[in-house]
Amino acid sequence: MSTSPLSSLTPKDRLKTICVKVSRRWEFRGLNDDGPLQHIDLVLVDEQGNSIYAKIPASEAERHALTLEQGKVYTMSRFIVCNAKNYCRSLPGPFMLEITCHTRINSARDSGSFPDYVYFLTPFDELPAYIGDKKKFHDVLGLLVEVSEPELVHFTNQTNPSLRRNITIRNEQYAELKVSIWGRRVRDFMPADLLSDTEGQPYLSGNSACHWYFNPNIPEVAQLLQTFQGSNVSIRRVGVPLEESSQPQPRPHAEAMTLHEMQNIDPYEFPEKGCTCTVTISRLVDDHGWWFPSCNLCNKSCKADGADYTCYECGTTNKFTYKCKLCFIATDGTDEAEMICFGEIGRRIVGKSVETVMRAPRGRDNLPLDIAGIVSSKYTFAVTMSEKSLRNPKSYQITAIITAFGKQKALP
């Protein structure tokens, strides 16, 4: 069978066949790794060393997920070649693959000439330039010098704590870098087999997409080990085992209220910790943008400055990430109220990143269908009163999503 190298693929190709090895595979279930499956991600590599990112949508996961295993070789045909996403990119390159219901996948023989690893290393001293930048994932190489025990961490916009493990690696200049592993991947990192014998500093954070390799057979590792030859390097263990540590107390639930009760409270007497409410999104607020350019350093909105975006708080230009900013009217049958949310909360409501929505089809009113589609969705939110309520009709800012009930057939 004739196959094409990955480097030859373009969006116009429809009938090409490729032979590739699955170098990496992971499931994306939201940033907290605790939601429904959104898509399966793959890093594919061919015999020539060319690599490409591929995505299996959740709707096709059952059809293809069991077929594709990490480390195995397959032939693929009838896939879609499209422009690469411009956020959380695993690889450089202009294109990516989408696996569809028409894609044909068959096991192939491993000739032994496929690369074992696909990586594009970022030096430690270049990482500060990427603080807050979510356009790409980073590959780093270092000597493991410290491993912490898993710990539970509370965040203000989450009702349940997140699991985290910190590790520290060292490069050939003896600079150290902290890497935080989150969610389910924490328990996958098992350093026991290897251990038989900062504030103000950049660090890396990894969840489901994070992969690690101990002593990979690559030239850069040989060079790194040469640097430490003759040195007595031990791996530090820090922290208290999770089962022996005191667990964080669950955050007390704010009082549940109806919208009618909330609307009758004087803005100056609204509970300081906010409240919870169960509502259904009834309509979007007209003439209200659904995204904003968020500064990578302070998270505040950047302002348009000609063709650029500038953060006047930090003095940076074009150092931003697109984030959601949703404003809608919600109802619970007792009253209705305006609600607003930003960033990750908005992304969870929409179910997609801003960049993905920007590329999606739009309706007659030029509003993306994914944004219009949030209407009739029911949630229990934790909310506080926004500062806007002191001057205008009341508006509530969503601080956390407690429960998502899905689409409703009718409004309350």
Question: Which residues belong to CATH 2.40.50.140 in the chain?
Answer: 6-107, 124-238, 259-407
Q: What is the pLDDT along the chain (412 residues), one digit of tens a residue?
A: 789 999 999 999 989 999 999 999 999 887 666 677 888 999 999 999 999 999 999 889 889 988 899 999 999 999 999 999 877 888 999 999 999 999 999 999 887 789 999 999 999 999 988 887 778 899 999 999 999 988 888 776 666 778 889 999 999 999 999 999 888 778 777 654 443 334 455 556 666 788 888 889 999 999 998 988 878 778 888 888 877 777 666 666 689 999 999 999 998 999 988 999 999 999 999 888 899 999 988 888 999 988 899 998 888 888 888 899 999 999 999 999 999 999 989 998 998 888 888 887 787 778 899 999 999 999 999 999 988 888 778 999 999 898 899 999 999 8
3-state secondary structure the chain: CCCCCHHHCCCCCCCCEEEEEEEEEEEECCCCCCCCCCEEEEEEECCCCCEEEEEEEHHHHHHHCCCCCCCCEEEEECCEEEECCCCCECCCCCEEEECCCCCEEEECCCCCCCCCCCCCECCHHHHHHHCCCCCECCECCCEEEEEECCEEECCCCCCCCEEEEEEEEECCCCCEEEEEEECCHHHHCCHHHHCCCCCCCCEEEECCCCCCCCCCCCHHHHHHHHHCCCCCCCCEEECCCCCCCCCCCCCCCCCECCHHHHHCCCHHHCCCCCEEEEEEEEEECCCCCCEEEEECCCCCECEEECCEEEECCCCEECCEEEEEEEEEEEECCCCEEEEEEEHHHHHHHHCCCHHHHHCCCECCCCCEHHHHCCCCEEEEEEEEECHHHHCCCCEEEEEEEEEEEEECCCCC
Domain 259-407: give its CATH superfamily. Answer: Nucleic acid-binding proteins (2.40.50.140)
| Residue 252 confidence (pLDDT) | 64
What local confidence, expressed as pLDDT, does residue 396 receive?
95
pLDDT of residue 333: 95
pLDDT at 346: 93
Class of domain 6-107: mainly beta
* Superfamily of 124-238 according to CATH: Nucleic acid-binding proteins (2.40.50.140)
